[in-house]
Amino acid sequence: MIKARVTVTLKNGVLDPQGKAIEGALGALGFDGVGAVRQGKVFDIEIDGTDANGAEASLKDMCEKLLANTVIENYSVSIT
């Protein structure tokens, strides 16, 4: 069994209203000095098998087809 983590974040220059709302809420809660909050998503995925290279290729394919909108999002894959 191969365990992986896929992290998807908005590309630089893409507006992030949710990140801006989180930034404002943190300030309202008294967390001073917090700025430029960007939100993203994390997927923890288990894949049958032992071929890490094949799993990484499959995960990247998953990102390109479903997990990330590659027009506005970047993704990274790490095998754990």
Q: Which of 52, 44, 53 is nearest to 8 (CA)?
A: 44
Residue-level pLDDT at 35: 84
pLDDT in tens, 22-76: 999 999 999 999 988 999 999 999 999 999 999 999 999 999 999 999 999 999 9
What is the pLDDT averaged over residues 5-34?
95
Q: In whole angstroms, what is the distance from residue 49 CA to residue 63 CA?
A: 19
Residue-level pLDDT at 54: 94
Contact yes or no for 8/59 (Cβ under 8 A): no
Phi-psi region of 64 (alpha: psi -120 to 50; beta: other; left: phi over 0): alpha
Question: What residue segments make up the domains of the chain, in order of their start?
Answer: 2-79
CATH number of the domain located at residue range(s) 2-79 in this protein? 3.30.1280.10
